[in-house]
Amino acid sequence: MKKFMNSADDFLKESLQGFGAAHQDIVNCHYDPNFITRATPTKEGKVALISGGGSGHEPMHGGLVGYGMLDAACPGFVFSSPTPDQMLAAAEKVDSGAGVLFIVKNYSGDVMNFQMAAEMMQGPNESVLTNDDVAVEDSSFTTGRRGVAATVVVEKIVGSLAEHGGSLQECKALGDKVNKNSGSMGVAFSSCTVPAAGKPNFDIGDDEMEFGVGIHGEPGRRRDKMKSAQEITNELLEAINEDLKPEANEEILLFVNGMGGTPLTELYLIYDNAKNMLDKKNIKISRSLVGNYCTSLEMQGASITLTKLDEELLKHWDSSVHTAAMRWGV
Amino acid sequence: MSVNFLIHRAKEIQAVIDANASEIEKLDQEIGDGDHIFNVQRGIKLVIELEAVIKDLPMSKALNQIAMKVLSGIGGSSGALFGTLFMTMAKGKDIDNGVDYKKAIEIFADGVEAVKQRGKADVGEKTMMDVLIPVSNCLKKGVEDNKDVKEILKEAIEVAEKGMFSTKDLLATKGRASFLGERAKGHIDPGARSSQLMIKTVCESVLNS
């Protein structure tokens, strides 16, 4: 294992400290229990958005804390769910009285821990469960589909609604809608190594790829031989389209997400290949996002997410955002 | 059942788990990710370390402290599941006015039911529920049938062992072992083994007292 680290025990702490120091104009990092909040307190009457999950998926979720997106993020240990004490401490810090919306990826550890936090919380709260991964109907980790890259889209769009005065119920409803309007699928070329484990999460041959992979390298649809980028892209899009069924002339967001170890050069190549295929089907790409947003440590691989956009979703996608990882309109 | 009882059983469980650690680790390396034994050992250690804090507390508060400790200290799914067990037991009616064996069985069974809800796993999915659910049912039935407490506990030890062995030929549908599909068959579930050891330790301790 080659990693920038001093000790596995201090890995997360040192990374959080660096993140907090590098972005002190945007975030505040709190320790024991660990959570990240905006540098400024929540505006009175604004619904507070809290997300979280295992670390190793950066910039999700800490990099998505800031104006127009999350109010707080709770990082667990690498690939391990955060615990309710983190969520409760974060909620206490950022709840302005308008309630808390938890945004949770559908992985069993995350679901159980957020569920417990919600039960223990005194104030009004709701949860949005993302499950955009079309690769599996019954995943290895959870009952049902996994929550992956579309979580970023949910956080952006609901973040905007919350910023513009949406109520807790309205934010919850919009979150569910964005999730329902989204589909994702990923592919991995290489494995990734959790610092504490010290060895790769899974074995994969030089000429192989894991098709339909989850964001921890867990298996999806099948182990395949390598193919051309256009073939891989077509297969990913076909799987998503089969589930999402976008109609001709329907507007969509095309989100090409890197898993951490694939260069932007290749992500843009995927974007080009995806555009080729969507153009043929007369599906209108009206918004784009390309980059490493929902990663799996150093894994080589990528995922594609499509989100069907209506006027409401477009408006909230375009509104200004100022986080460590996403910034526009400011 | 007193707070003191809980602390002493935790210490006995620690000794038994430590003695069987390499076996449990091996089971987990075969079908899991190998960290189960460390989670269990860390959880037990955290509970024992609470002794000074909880020894004079009423039962409900002591159980709640244990719940919060394992919840935040173990983390992940195991933390949530064990946290749910103790948190539900802490909510047992009138437990601060004394817990006899019938009450202990009642709150344990409520706890197991809550864990089943939390993890959405039932008997037959190759998890610790293959031990906990049959044991809980056996204990409840024993009380209903007015059996002698020693007889009930002896039965529970047998039921736990049977449940643990039953996981060997099951296909995993929950947890990480479900990655492996057919390949998980022929291996005992490490969570079923560790919970069987805990049940056995507590039951034997009461039988020998």
Q: How many CB pairs under 8 A join A and B?
A: 61
One-letter amino acid for residue B168 of the chain: K
d(CA B187, CA B182): 11
B80 closest CB neighbour out of A112, A141, A197: A112
SS (H, E, C) B91-115: CCCCHHHCCCHHHHHHHHHHHHHHH
Interface of B with A in 16-75 (CB under 8 A): 33-34, 68, 71-72, 75
Count of CA atoms in the C-beta half-sphere (13 A) of B83: 29
Q: At A127, which CATH number? A: 3.40.50.10440
Active site residues of A: 57, 216
Which residue, among B132, B156, B159, has the nearest Cα to B142 in the 3D structure? B156
Please state which of the ranges A151-160, A163-172, B74-83, B128-137 shows the lowest mean pLDDT: B74-83
Residue A2 covered by a domain: no
Tell me, what's the pLDDT at B143? 97
Q: Domain range for residue A195?
A: 182-328
Question: Which residues in chain A are closer than 8 Å to B76, comparing Cβ atoms?
Answer: 76, 80-81, 109, 113
How far apart CA B194 and CA B177 sit, in angstroms, is: 16
- Over residues B35-42, the mean pLDDT reads 86
| Per-residue pLDDT at A220 | 75
Considering the four listed CATH numbers 1.25.40.340, 1.10.1040.10, 2.70.98.10, 1.10.3680.10, the one that applies to the domain covering B3-207 is 1.25.40.340
Contact state of A83 with B71 under an 8 Å Cβ cutoff: yes
**Residue of chain B with shortest Cα separation from A222:** B179
For A113, the closest chain B residue by CA position comes to B80
Q: Does residue A77 lie within any of the structural domains?
A: yes
Instruction: Measure CA A16 to chain center.
Output: 18
Domain boundary among the residues A180, A197, A225 is at A180
Residue A132 near residue A139, CB atoms below 8 Å: no
Nearest CA in chain A to B117: A112
Quick one: A173 and A188 in the same domain?
A: no
Other beta carbons within 10 angstroms of residue B135's beta carbon come to 27
Number of structural domains chain A divides into: 2
- Please name the residue of chain A whose CA is at the shortest distance from the CA of residue B69: A85
- Model confidence pLDDT, tens digit, residues A144-185: 788 999 999 999 999 999 999 999 999 999 999 999 999 999
Query: What is the average pLDDT across A49-75?
Result: 97
Of A145, A180, A215, which residue sits at a domain end?
A180
Lowest mean pLDDT segment, chosen from A59-68, A102-111, A215-224, A235-244: A215-224
Residue with tokens 């997300």: A51
Judgement on whether residues A131 and A62 belong to the same structural domain of the protein: yes
Mark whether A176 and A190 lie in a shared domain. no
pLDDT at B39: 85
Helical (H) or strand (E) element with B8: helix B3-19
CATH number at residue A233: 3.30.1180.20
Q: Which of A112, A138, A204 to mutate to test the interface with B (most CBs of B within 10 A)?
A: A112
Q: Judge whether A103 and A158 are in contact, CB under 8 Å.
A: yes
Instruction: Give the residue-averaged pLDDT of B181-206.
Output: 91
Query: Is there a contact between B119 and B96 (Cβ–Cβ < 8 Å)?
Result: no
Nearest to A109 among B72, B76, B84 (CB): B76
Whether A247 is in a domain gets the answer yes
Name the one residue in this structure whose structure tokens are 């999915």: B125
Interface contact A83-B33, CB threshold 8 A: no
The reply to whether residue A81 touches residue B33, judged by beta carbons under 8 angstroms, is no
Determine, yes or no, domain membership for A15. no
DSSP A25: T
Question: What is the rounded average pLDDT of the residues B147-157?
Answer: 97
Whether B80 sits inside 8 A of A77 (CB atoms) is: no
- A201 and A166 share one domain: no
Q: Do B118 and A81 touch (CB under 8 A)?
A: no
Residue B80: its chain A contacts at CB < 8 A? Answer: 81, 83-84, 109, 112-113, 115-116
**Interchain contact, B76 vs A81, CB within 8 Å:** yes
Residue A329 neighbours by CB distance under 10 Å:
11
Chain B neighbors of A115, CB-CB under 8 A: 80, 118
- Report the chain A residue with the minimal C-alpha distance to residue B81: A112
Question: ipTM of this complex > 0.90?
Answer: no
Inter-chain CB proximity A116 and B83 less than 8 Å? yes
Same domain, A133 and A214: no
What are residue A327's phi and psi, to 5 degrees? -150, 115
Q: A98 and A110 in one domain? A: yes
Residues A159 and A191 in one domain: no
pLDDT for A142 equals: 46
Are A30 and A144 contained in the same domain?
Answer: yes
B179 touches chain A (CB under 8 A): yes
Shortest CB distance from A84 goes to which of B71, B81, B176?
B71
Tens of pLDDT, residue by residue over A12-40, are 999 999 999 999 999 999 999 999 999 99
Task: Read off the pLDDT band of B172 (50, 70, 90).
Answer: confident
pLDDT (average), residues B108-133: 95
Quote the percentage of chain B above a pLDDT of 90: 79
Do residue A151 and residue A221 come from a single domain?
A: no
Q: Kindly report the number of other CB atoms within 10 A of residue A250's CB atom.
A: 17
The C-alpha of B43 sits at a distance from chain A's nearest C-alpha, in angstroms, of 14
